[in-house]
Structure 1
């Protein structure tokens, strides 16, 4: 993965992801993916765009929408009150980010053991 990332637990002990400023809005989209089957569905959509089956594909979740194109994926955040309202990342990197998140979903809601 080209971009740095780290996982942390919020005040409710839920696993979250921190991304660098230029793609930080993608965290809100990624964190809305709560089951592996949904991650697989979205990864398949990305692969379909990368392989030319679709010209583009849009996924809209709670507060975000991603427009997946062959080279770039653009995320629009609906409820942020300060700019930027959009981030973009290479579609291959977006796929990689979803694969990384998918691997963490099983431990997402587990409490950290002391």
Structure 2
């Protein structure tokens, strides 16, 4: 039996006492605004466009767009649509790419989580 095949034993009671959910890793999920910002930045760079160019097209400041791309501003849905329109990207594409990034495996220490945790419950 390889290490990957061995079940993981989790003491659910102690995790609940500590305020942690037993079915999640200990790292917080990334914020949606950060994910959307990364996607918008990637799309803008793929098109070889500058912050200034896209910001002018949308009618916002370059600084605000930069803050959006770094996940520091929580843009409204209208603002997200405007930036997507300026990039020629449907808003639905941004949302779908965000879902894929949220559900992608996240590294946890020495290994990467690639599916639901394998947990074996044991009576105490």
* TM-score with structure 1 setting the length: 0.26
Bigger relative contact order, structure 1 or 2 (CA pairs below 8 A, ≥6 apart): 2
Q: TM-score, normalised by structure 2?
A: 0.25
Instruction: Report which of the two has the higher share of helix.
Output: 2
Greater strand content: 1
**Bigger radius of gyration:** 2
